[in-house]
Structure 1
Amino acid sequence: MRFFFICLLSLSGYVSAADSTELYPGAPAAASDYGFLIGNWQCRYEQLDPQGKILFSAPCRWQAQYAFDHKMVVDDFSLLDEQGKVTYAGRTLRTFSLQDKRWHQVFLPVQMSATLNPFTAHRDNEGVHLEVEQRLPNGELQPARFRFSQISDKGFVWESSKQLESGAGWYVDMRIRAAQSELY
């Protein structure tokens, strides 16, 4: 069956013969780029204005696990009210592409209109950096940047940045501080 699937992909142009030997033996070394995210995290979400003032803050949780023999990361994010009820949630699928040597990801919010805007990522000494063009409700595309930083075995910080209206720079508009959790 596996041979049939590889042949089918090869015939359809998705996998070349050279790539098929790399796909199945084990996860690429880059799979460890998101190793820090695996686990259960209690978080604090903050929405910020361009001057860095906190406009909104709420508890949240983030849960991530490997799938397909460490070749993919699946993570679920939930924003909570103060009583612990979920008010917003979504799932991210992340996989490392052997073709372009970058992470490719999509996020899908629960029960909301969404376009699956794919984004790419890479890891360096400062953290994991992600870029995407998000489709706004009016159909326009808006560039966005995300970053995981301050990564340790005890937690991490995730930040979303968007361009200033003038286009002359970026500011952090959302921040999540995560700490290891054993509660769920």
Structure 2
Amino acid sequence: MPSFSLATLGGAPPLSLPSVRPLAVGLGGTALFGFALRTAVSHEGASLTHLSWAFALPAVTLLSWALCLPALYILWATRHPHVGASHCLHAARDAVHTLGLCLASTTPILWFFAATAPESRISSVLAFLFTALALFSCVHVFVQSLQRQGASLTGFPRLAFLGLHAITFAQCAHGAGLSLS
């Protein structure tokens, strides 16, 4: 009996999807930061609201990538026809992984300041700073991953994508009720 695959039936090579493990690690780190962020902002013990922030921050991360990536890909595919959707998905996976690792690594610092200085605004300032630096890092890793695959995103397009992603992330976070005030 002959074996058939989607590639032989459709005539096109199958879409290579990225590995799930780095994505899960990135989203898990983002969830941990979301839980700590709620603690740092509200100065209260664990509650259901903390869990909602732990689920909302990874959802905001995925939503911001889901909104930004197609816009970039549509405009960018005309300049780099050899870069496919799977290249962008792999690069986005690497970026989400980096975002989660960056945010998770700062979680103990947020908890420390939430526990030792509960009335101070330093934890909110640190949370904003850590999030901004993590967003910058994730876009940088996205660009580096694309460069390893033979594409380039330099100069103004890189800066524009960073701005688009940061603004989209902030708008999605605000819409989800994740605010530092």
**If the length of structure 1 is used for normalisation, what is the TM-score?**
0.24
**If the length of structure 2 is used for normalisation, what is the TM-score?**
0.24
Relative to total residues, which structure has the larger strand share, 1 or 2? 1
Indicate the structure whose relative CO is greater, using CA pairs within 8 Å and at least 6 residues apart. 2
Relative to total residues, which structure has the larger helix share, 1 or 2? 2
